[in-house]
Structure 1
Amino acid sequence: MKLTNQNKADLFKTFGFKQSEKDSGSSESQISLFTHRIKHLTEHLSVKKKDYAAKLGLLKLVGKRKRLLAYLKREDLDRYRNIITSLGLRK
């Protein structure tokens, strides 16, 4: 499932800090985008177990999301808690 511009705009509007369609730079927007891509890759890997390139991409995305979450937790704890609860991430 490819992310179209409309899907990205919906993600940014829903989870972005500025709550606008063009907010693609905030940490919340990036984390929501990474989470969507991680879910998609996880579903793909449940079917195609030997797709090692996708597995490597998944691990890189998880690492990027983890670093962004650590940054957000360090800078603004309220925004961190909001994004964790809205995306349903365990922390």
Structure 2
Amino acid sequence: MALDTAKKQEIIQKFARDSKDTGSSEVQIALLTQRIADLTEHLKANKKDHSSRLGLLKLVGKRKHLLKYLKNSQHDRYVKLIKDLGIKDK
């Protein structure tokens, strides 16, 4: 269920802070969001795939922690990111 290289590069370029940024919180959250969306579609078709469901829950937890970190450290970037990704704000 990994992202293909072209899609990953597109996401990195869209959310990167500069040309060499691949590991910032924004990029990581955007990549996790895409993987979560892909896994969600997979699980709609394969309801009994419990190992993928567990992986999905781990990804959601990791994204939640990164969002919490970003919200506490750089709130303006957090607001922009959730708006761009269409993630609900609690």
Q: TM-score range by the shorter chain?
A: over 0.9
Residue matched to 2:60: 62
Residue matched to 2:21: 23
Residue matched to 1:7: 7
Contiguous gaps of at least 5 residues in structure 1: none
> Aligned-pair distance for 1:73?
0.3
Q: Distance in 1 between matches of 2:5 and 2:67?
A: 24
> Aligned-pair distance for 1:17?
2.5
Residue matched to 2:79: 81
Contact 2:2–2:35 (CA under 8 A) maintained in structure 1: no
> Aligned-pair distance for 1:8?
1.0
> Aligned-pair distance for 1:16?
1.9
Q: Distance in 1 between matches of 2:85 and 2:38?
A: 14
> Aligned-pair distance for 1:66?
0.1
> Aligned-pair distance for 1:2?
4.4
Contiguous gaps of at least 5 residues in structure 2: none
Structure 1 runs of 4+ aligned residues shifted over 3 Å read none
Q: Distance in 1 between matches of 2:21 and 2:3?
A: 16
Q: What's the TM-score, normalizing by structure 1?
A: 0.91
| Per-residue CA distance 1:20-41 (angstroms, 9 max, x = gap) | 3x42200000000000000000
Q: Distance in 2 between matches of 1:57 and 1:2?
A: 12
Sequence identity (%): 53
Q: How many residues align?
A: 89
Q: What's the TM-score, normalizing by structure 2?
A: 0.92
Q: Distance in 1 between matches of 2:88 and 2:7?
A: 24
